[in-house]
Amino acid sequence: MTDRIVIPIAERRYDAALPHVPESPEPPSGRLFDTRGRRMHDLRISVTDRCNFRCTYCMPKSVFDKDYAFLPQSSLLSFEEIARVVRVFVAHGVEKVRLTGGEPLLRKDVERLVGMLAELRTASGEPLDLTLTTNGSLLARKARALRDAGLRRVTVSLDALDDATFRAMNDVDFPVADVLAGIEAAKAVGFGSVKVNMVVKRGVNDDQIVPMAAYFRGSGHIVRFIEFMDVGASNGWRLDDVLPSREVVARIDAAHPLEPVDPNYPGEVAERWRYRDGTGEIGVISSVTQPFCGECSRARLSTEGRLYTCLFASAGHDLRGLLRGGCDDVQLAGAVSHLWALRADHYSEVRSAETAGLRKIEMSYIGG
Ligand code: SAM
Ligand code: SF4
Ligand code: SF4
């Protein structure tokens, strides 16, 4: 048998030139703004690149197979390293932190990390808006511990109510009922309203739009319909597979009349709609047909500690190297502020057939 070296896709190439960070970057004071005046406000952290699902639009089995080289444990940022990075980000204006992945609930003792982050306070002394996105498969088991540790909100992904459709999309034969049980468990332990993310792929699960809306209408949970995106380089994205959000809204409106709602805050990614009869609301996230780069305030920390300033970036800056190289918090803050100050990302505004073919970082690695 010959040895086969498999390099994780996320590592295969980073050809875009990364900005150089000076050895002693200027320490920042206060909030950070990029070249387009966008404030750094949110941080998404991928706590693992592994997942127990193989959603066809995210980790297709053809690529994420038994030979796929996921990151070794030693490459992952430790909880202490993550908490240190978050502390620096929070000192410079981040108020919202989302744990994601991969499947974040697969990371051992993730509730310990939640507990560490829940202790941090923003510049105005408020607790962080600390949230987590999960496929829901382990939520029924973990909801209580997450809540007790201080998690404030949870988002659950669910792409269909029809069991056969859902099993085909997660591609590991996972049943809908167990995800629904996770959502109920989250409600029961006090998470209240859960956001339910549904990625819509034309011809695959678009027949589930109205049933999903109808099922969650009146439940207090908010379904958010997400346009299928060309993240990563392995999901075979084609524009024809994208069902524009305006069509999602039209279909739901025809069955259960809707009216628009003002955003909760400026720059909210999901466009809000409520049922005219007062039975709740939905959201649509139109990253393909109505890009929201102009308001994008998100930084992303990959599983192994690279900082990305856009979901579609092809390169990230190695913060782990700084951490493990003995930098202090002032140097770390200087590097972050330097990188954010240079940020000019606006991929979704310039998306085209050519950009869709670029080699980009996989969502499971960078954190969705
Ligand atoms: N495993 C967790 C989950 O599925 O909720 C967290 C990570 S997942 C990458 C985060 C979110 O990204 C999920 O709601 C998922 O549906 C969404 N997502 C993944 N690939 C996508 C794509 N190609 N287009 C749009 N959304 C996508
Ligand atoms: Fe896993 Fe989430 Fe990606 Fe599905 S969307 S494969 S659950 S990381
Ligand atoms: Fe933000 Fe990049 Fe998405 Fe634009 S394409 S909204 S800059 S993550």
Six-digit token string for 44 = 């998404």
* pLDDT, tens digit, 9 for 90 and up, residues 212-246: 999 999 999 999 999 999 888 788 888 999 999 99
Higher pLDDT, 176 or 14: 176
Q: How far is CA 298 from the centre of its chain?
A: 10
Mean pLDDT of all residues belonging to the chain: 91
Q: At what angle do helices 139-149 and 176-186 cross, to 10 degrees?
A: 20
Residue from 155, 199, 361 whose mutation best tests the ligand 1 pocket (most atoms within 8 A of CB): 199
What is the Å distance from ligand 2's center to 337 Cα? 31
Residue 27 confidence (pLDDT): 65
* Atom 7, ligand 1: residue with shortest CA distance: 101
* pLDDT, tens digit, 9 for 90 and up, residues 59-88: 999 999 999 999 999 999 999 999 999 999
pLDDT tier for residue 266 given thresholds of 50, 70 and 90: confident
* Atom 5, ligand 1: residue with shortest CA distance: 134
Largest CA distance in the chain: 66
Residue 357 confidence (pLDDT): 67
CA atoms within 13 A on the CB side of 172: 14
CB 176 within 8 A of CB 157: no
* Atom 4, ligand 3: residue with shortest CA distance: 293
Cα(139)–Cα(219) distance, integer angstroms: 18
Residue from 98, 157, 284, 308 whose mutation best tests the ligand 1 pocket (most atoms within 8 A of CB): 157
Give the three-state DSSP class for 157. strand
Six-digit token string for 109 = 């003792």
State which ligand 1 atom lies nearest to the alpha carbon of 237: 23
Cα(138)–Cα(134) distance, integer angstroms: 8
Min mean pLDDT across 22-36, 120-134, 236-250, 294-308 is at: 22-36
Judge whether residue 15 has pLDDT over 60. no
Cα(298)–Cα(340) distance, integer angstroms: 10
Cα(53)–Cα(168) distance, integer angstroms: 11
